[in-house]
Amino acid sequence: MGDDAGTPAVVSPSSSSVADGARGAIAGVASRFVTHPLDTMKSRAQVLGALASTSGTTMLGRGLYSGFGAVVMFAPAASGAYFVGYESGRRELGDGALALAATGMWAQALAGVVYTPMDVIKERLQTQAVLGVDERAGTYRNWAHAARVIAREEGARGLFRGYWAQNFVWWPWSATYFVIYERLRGFIGGGEEVMPAVSSACGLGAAAAATTLTHPLDLAKTRLQTLRFDDRASATLFSVLRRVVERDGVRGLFAGVVTRVASVAPGSAISFGAYETLRQSGW
């Protein structure tokens, strides 16, 4: 999938793609509305570690819905793209374990085409309050202004900066998440359909574990998408990780992990609970 604050729900093979996409879009936007302030704090905490000055810490809690307009505009389409990829993969590849893993990667790669520009715009708006002029990639009034400025000054490449980094974050996240999620559901429900509240609880636990394990990759992705680099062409996910370790040690790789877990895990619980409620109600 993509953005931190929401996760795609498991889709039954018999469901229609349109209905799955609509349910996923509603659940995803609902979860992001609740968790966006924590997502903003996470993004700011991740970039503050790259600054020589810590004066930006005073801005951590201000303007917590910065960038939410980009979420409202892009997230429904991104969720729809994810479910189109998921359903097409299931039809073409089948339901085996390896086939499902490949389907998940395909769905994420497809959804990332929409999630990546959303993340770039959202995170630029979220972090500009704490970054100095020398570090930030621009100053923006709103999501539409940010999109225009980035497209004009950096081209399409600027809007899609971090596409592969995003995939490298969410591919292992999804693999870890669904293994834990399905095992929890199986343990609690014994293979039977479970109540939406149980799906929410399983999503909460699985997301907390997967988010912690993949946090260093997400930190590098956020910095790659928001900070200035002397040579943008040479800035990669792994070069950013190396710089973090050289400057702050291994501990620096987990800057903002608490706020990210606090954003992603409840977001997954809300998303899965809302999705299952809609699905089981026949909507």
| Per-residue CA distances from 133 to 34, 51, 140, 236, 266 (Å) | 30, 11, 12, 22, 34
pTM of the predicted model over 0.85: no
Could you tell me if 201 and 270 are in contact, meaning their C-beta atoms sit under 8 angstroms apart?
A: no
The pLDDT tens digits of the residues spanning 166-212 come to 888 888 887 787 778 878 888 887 767 778 888 899 989 999 999 99
Give pLDDT tens digits for 91-122.
888 766 677 678 778 888 888 999 999 999 99
What CATH number should be reported for the domain whose range is 17-280?
1.50.40.10
Query: For residue range 39-95, what is the model confidence (pLDDT) as tens digits?
Result: 898 888 888 765 544 444 455 567 899 999 999 999 888 877 776 777 777 788 876
- DSSP H or E stretch at residue 5: none
Count of Cβ atoms closer than 10 Å to residue 207 Cβ: 27
Residue 29 banded pLDDT, cuts 50, 70, 90: confident
Residue-level pLDDT at 12 = 45
Domain boundaries of the chain, sorted by first residue: 17-280
| Residue range 153-165: mean pLDDT, rounded | 90
